[in-house]
Amino acid sequence: MTAGLETVLAEAGLRIDPGRFLRLVADAARKVSPPQPNPADYFSPVQRQVLTDVGLDLSAYDEQESDPRASTVAARAVFADSAFSVTDTARLLGIDTSRVRHRLKEGKLTGWKDKGWQLPAWQFSGSAALPGLDVVLRALPDDQPALMIAAFMNTPQSDLELDGKPVTPRQWLLAHGDPRMVADLASTLGTVA
């Protein structure tokens, strides 16, 4: 199994020991939610009725169904492992660590604290932050988790096209597209369409 996992990790561009990766996955799995949750248990009877009236299925997962948490656990583990520390970011950008913290405070970079700042890799290209990143970061709702923002930045958006094809917000910014277009989309994260 380790050789196969090493191949998968290498093909994904992740430089991590397979054992460490599996420990990250196990740790993330413990944090996501209890095993086989029953969605109905999270709501009051009135809330359950309203949600089922609009067509939501709140039944417990069948043992034969694949667990939808699995992809979240894997994504979370990869996301956390690919993040940069403040020191790594300073080295990448060719600045000192105090400038990295200053950029975080100013909203020119984004990250989360987990035994020190962790900065997601998607916001960098080469030795620089994405062009227009600060415009996009200012537009993001404060309540959006880092993994949700990463998913948005790496998912093609129909409103962003290059050569007639939808591109990700990250690709759009790398192509020097107007960051305000990404900011407009980013401002709606977490809202009902």
> Count of domains in the chain?
1
Average pLDDT over every residue of 99-115: 95
Higher pLDDT, 115 or 95: 95
Confidence band of 29 (pLDDT split at 50, 70, 90)? low
Quickly count: other Cβ atoms within 10 Å of residue 149's Cβ.
22
Query: 175 in a domain, yes or no?
Result: yes
Q: Identify the pLDDT of residue 65.
A: 64
Query: 192 in a domain, yes or no?
Result: yes
Average pLDDT over every residue of 71-93: 85
CB 120 within 8 A of CB 144: no
The domain containing residue 186 runs over which residues? 130-193
Rounded to two decimals, the pTM is 0.67
Query: 107 in a domain, yes or no?
Result: no
- Strands in the chain per DSSP E: 112-113, 117-118, 124-125, 128-129, 157-162, 165-167
